[in-house]
Amino acid sequence: MAEIRNYTLNFGPQHPAAHGVLRLILEIDGEVIERADPHIGLLHRGTEKLVESKPYNQSIGYMDRLDYVSMMCNEHAYVMAIETMLGIKVPERAQYIRVMFDEITRILNHLMWLGTHGLDVGAMSIFLYAFREREKLIDCYEAVSGSRMHATYYRPGGVYRDLPDKMPQYLVSDFRTDKELKIMNENRQGSLLDFIADFVKEFPKSIKQYDDLLTDNRIWKQRLVNIGIVSANRAKQLGFTGPMLRGSGVAWDLRKNQPYAVYDQLEFDIPVGMTGDSYDRYLVRMEEMRQSNHIIKQCVKWLQENPGAVMSDDHKVSPPKRADMKDDMESLIHHFKLFTEGYCLPKGEIYRTVEHPKGEFGVYLISDGANKPYRVKIRAPGFAHLAAMDEMVRGHMLSDVVTIIGTQDVVFGEIDR
Amino acid sequence: MQDLKVSLIEVFSERHLVETFDELTLTVDSQDIIKTCLKLRDSFSFDTLIDLCGVDYLTYGQSDWNGNASASGFSRGRNHQGLEDRHEQRFAVVYHLLSVSKNKRIRVKSFVDEAEPIIKSVTDIWASADWYEREAFDLMGILFENHTDLRRILTDYGFKGYPLRKDFPMIGEVEMRYDEDLGRVVYEKVSIEPNINVPRVIRK
């Protein structure tokens, strides 16, 4: 009989299912994975080193670029760490805006995950549907911050500016008729909040569509059920958080267990899985989108009723009004100081964390009293999840590796940092 | 959290426990790390290691206002403060633990020697420590005894040095380009100069 030996297969870093730049060295026996060794760091930009060289405010932009599909959630952890150390109070309206955008971000992230996960496993159309809704939410990002991805919208002390009264509209173009244009701009006649309120009303229908496409789909189930099972205890051992932990049946959500911002005043449920396989994690994330939708609805209602300040008036950390700077010496000095030297944090260390769409995103910040952080360690949820790749794929087939990469929802911006 | 603090004081001595910003920090000797972690996991049900990182305290409390901060930049006279709070030991390993069952957090900190930055690995206590320790080794050069696979993780294949140490320059040490004549990628000494746009200042 011929001798059969294991062979080694290089997967990625330029593979469409590698979600960026994952390189996997797979040891395969036939088509069964014996061992997987992920090689990461191909997107390492040294964020933690760069942050040490910049005043606090200038690093908010780096946070966006960590997990580049859930930008504002990253910012939230970072600004929360700074705010707690400085002891500044954030206006309630800003807190609601943050929560609303955190949840918009969660939907954005889950839509991206759903589309690409579907694409990996062979469901082409879901990708197009998911991106249809993503586009609307990305427009909200753009309306509020001027940027479609890297918003830098959260600032220590609040958010950079209040929600716009007018939603930007599509312009006349050779590529669309007046009739098409009118339909496109139909829900953009009012303010941003009106646009979001309209989205929230329509979104459950979209989720229903994804549901119809996938949940009972035979191929989808064949590819996901019983793939990558992680038990609850093992998930905790492996440092899983977020949907990965909830998929294994642990009801753990920082928004409920250690509430921050105004999550304790909002009503929402935490979905948990039963078996801890990829299909459960899919169901958990789908339900999370519905819950996020529910949270956004409550935030929109609150924000419509409660106008007010969105930024702390402590001008040591927030810029003074431009009009004040024209005739007020002190405002001018504050402005100059803030944008040149920045502000100093008291000596000490802090770890602040948020329930990021992927899990627990934490910022460990050490200050020595300077205007720049002494050390910032970013706790990326995907890092711990990817570390469990070897354990999760062992004994599965080669094609299941793709499912497991998808179900982990890895994004290399945060893993490689 | 106060209950946790009280019960922790019973087991560990009070002077090792600090509370700041509603967080508890337990400082332990690097020799005792395994003992402490086992106790925290088994008696205090800290079932998850959320994060592990290395910290380099080499320039803690120093500002840029003394000496040449950049080749052409400022060097104005301001006596630098903060030397009094220099840490005795240069490196620290920081563990962030989470108890999912009890909804508690704690930070464990352990200083290691500069000449021999070695500490026992906690991979047998929490499986998630595996990659975190590789990362701390890669970026900070801290060695973890009994770690089965202590390879570099984030930096390039064949990278030299520990980039998050404070004496590692921000611009790096080598740069890479494709050499037409040799037909391959070559590494050379960096050609750019270090530049500080905003000086580091400490105000009290």
Could you read off the pLDDT of A320-354 as tens digits, one per residue?
Answer: 888 888 898 999 999 998 888 889 889 889 999 99
**What one-letter code names the amino acid at A155?**
R
Confidence of residue B134 (pLDDT cuts 50, 70, 90): very high
Q: Which chain A residues have a beta carbon less than 8 Å from that of B65?
A: none
Q: Which chain A residues have a beta carbon less than 8 Å from that of B50?
A: 239, 241, 360, 362, 379
Q: Which residue has the higher pLDDT, A415 or B62?
A: A415
- For the cut 60, the answer to whether the pLDDT of residue A52 exceeds it is yes
Q: Which residue of B has its CA nearest to A361?
A: B50
pLDDT of residue B193: 86
Could you read off the pLDDT of A143-162 as tens digits, one per residue?
Answer: 999 888 898 999 998 998 88
pLDDT of residue B78: 44
Pairwise CB contact (< 8 Å): B127 & A44? no
Q: Which residue of A has its CA nearest to B80?
A: A370
Confidence of residue A284 (pLDDT cuts 50, 70, 90): very high
Contact yes or no for A73/A103 (Cβ under 8 A): no
Q: Which chain B residues have a beta carbon less than 8 Å from that of A49?
A: 163-164, 168, 170
- For the cut 50, the answer to whether the pLDDT of residue A380 exceeds it is yes
Contact yes or no for A371/A341 (Cβ under 8 A): yes
Q: Which chain A residues have a beta carbon less than 8 Å from that of B164?
A: 48-49, 375
pLDDT of residue A361: 92
Pairwise CB contact (< 8 Å): A340 & B61? no
Confidence of residue B87 (pLDDT cuts 50, 70, 90): low
Q: Which chain A residues have a beta carbon less than 8 Å from that of B90?
A: none
Pairwise CB contact (< 8 Å): A371 & B198? yes
Pairwise CB contact (< 8 Å): A238 & B127? yes
- For the cut 80, the answer to whether the pLDDT of residue B150 exceeds it is yes
Shortest CB distance from B50 goes to which of A40, A360, A366? A360
- Residue B32 distance to chain A (closest CA, Å): 21
Pairwise CB contact (< 8 Å): A369 & B204? yes
Q: B41 CB contacts (<8 Å, ≥6 apart)? A: B47, B125, B126
- For the cut 90, the answer to whether the pLDDT of residue A102 exceeds it is yes
Confidence of residue B77 (pLDDT cuts 50, 70, 90): very low
Could you read off the pLDDT of A263-277 as tens digits, one per residue?
Answer: 999 999 999 998 889
A64-89: average pLDDT: 91
Q: Which chain B residues have a beta carbon less than 8 Å from that of A245?
A: 100
Q: Which chain A residues have a beta carbon less than 8 Å from that of B139?
A: 48
Phi, psi at B139, each rounded to 5°: -90, -25
- Residue B79 distance to chain A (closest CA, Å): 15
Percent of chain A at pLDDT > 70 equals 100
pLDDT of residue A354: 92
- Substitution target in B41, B46, B47, B48 with the highest count of A β-carbons within 10 Å is B48
A301-318: average pLDDT: 88
- For the cut 80, the answer to whether the pLDDT of residue A312 exceeds it is yes
Contact yes or no for A255/A300 (Cβ under 8 A): no
Number of helical (H) and strand (E) elements in chain B, helices listed first: 3, 9
Shortest CB distance from B21 goes to which of A55, A350, A386? A350
Interface size between A and B, measured as CB pairs under 8 A: 128
For chain B, state the CA radius of gyration: 21
Q: Which chain B residues have a beta carbon less than 8 Å from that of A41?
A: 152-156
Considering only CA atoms, which of A40, A44, A59 is closest in space to residue A376? Answer: A59
- Residue A24 distance to chain B (closest CA, Å): 13
Pairwise CB contact (< 8 Å): A239 & B127? yes
Q: Which of A377-381, B43-47, B73-77 has the lowest mean pLDDT?
A: B73-77
Q: Which chain A residues have a beta carbon less than 8 Å from that of B203?
A: 344, 369, 371
- Substitution target in B60, B102, B126, B175 with the highest count of A β-carbons within 10 Å is B60
pLDDT of residue A1: 66
